[in-house]
Amino acid sequence: MRKRVVALLTDFGVEEHYNGVMKGVILKINSDASIVDLVDSAKSFSIMDAAFQLWASYKYFPKETIFLIVVDPGVGTSRQAVAVKTKNYFFVGPDNGVLYPAVSEDEIEKVIKITSEKIILKNRNGTFDGRDVFAPAAAYLSLKKPIEDLGELTHLKEKYEFAKPEIKANIIKATVLHVDKFGDVVLNIKKEHLGGIKKFCIEGKTFEIKQTFSECSDLCMVYGSSGFYELVLNQGSAAEMLGLKTGDMIKIEVI
pLDDT tens, position by position, 158-186? 999 999 999 998 899 999 999 999 999 99
Please determine, for residue 216, whether its predicted confidence score (pLDDT) is greater than 70: yes
The answer to whether residues 77 and 33 touch, using CB atoms and an 8 Å cutoff, is: no
Averaged pLDDT for residues 201-205: 93
The one-letter code for the residue type at 147 is I
At residue 185, the pLDDT reads: 98
Instruction: Name which residue leads in pLDDT, 239 or 123.
Output: 239
- What residues contact 38, with CB distance under 8 A and at least 6 apart? 7, 8, 9, 53, 54, 57, 67
pLDDT, tens only, 60-72: 999 999 999 999 9
Q: Are strands 5-10 and 66-70 parallel, antiparallel or unpaired?
A: parallel
The answer to whether residues 189 and 174 touch, using CB atoms and an 8 Å cutoff, is: yes
DSSP class of residue 148 equals: G
CA angle 84/104/180 to nearest 5° reads 95
What is the C-alpha separation between 45 and 32, in angstroms, rounded?
31
Share of the chain above pLDDT 70, in %: 100
The one-letter code for the residue type at 79 is R
Does pTM top 0.85 for this prediction? Answer: yes
At residue 143, the pLDDT reads: 96
